[in-house]
Amino acid sequence: MADSSGPEIRSTTVLCVRHGGQVALGADGQVSMGNTIMKGSARKLRTLARGQILGGFAGSAADGLTLFELLEGKLEKVGGNFTRACVELAKDWRLERRYRQLEALMIVCDAERSLLLSGTGDVIEADDGVLAIGSGGNFALAAARALLRHTDMTAQQVVEEALRVAGEICVFTNLEHTVLTLDAGGQS
């Protein structure tokens, strides 16, 4: 994804865990350019649809924010149908020339579903309720799955701890986290 004309930007770890009637979405705050930490407190999560949907992105900040705006527009266009809006966004992202260069991945969730969206048209819902993206995504994913199998932690606690583990392993992930939650009723 990186343009060879400039330094590669690596931004973040985003983790979503659905467990015990709650969904938690968390991200670290680090933005790196090459081997340099440019910022430690970036906010890569947003609430959408008046707090009924949570979203997080890994990749270019401008592209991630553009994707949030596009998803909001799709939600309005389809009457708030979360899954349909995500599918429509993924289709446009893949097919429309002006969106093809958006360099980000996103995880979005509502009270019922968690979805990973990509510019290649992917709309993925994990079988186990755990999704992760970004530089430290695989570390966070592995930690979250282990914690869910061997502890009685809440979804929020699992996200917090798994992000901490990822931050201790991945040099492009830090220990400054933001975590947002929704319960089964859609309340954040």
Which residues are known catalytic residues? Answer: 12
CA pseudo-torsion sign 155, 118, 92, 59 = positive
User: Strand pairing of 31-33 and 36-39?
Assistant: antiparallel
The packing angle between helices 155-169 and 137-150, to 10°, is 140
Cα 44 to Cα 174: distance, rounded to the nearest angstrom = 13
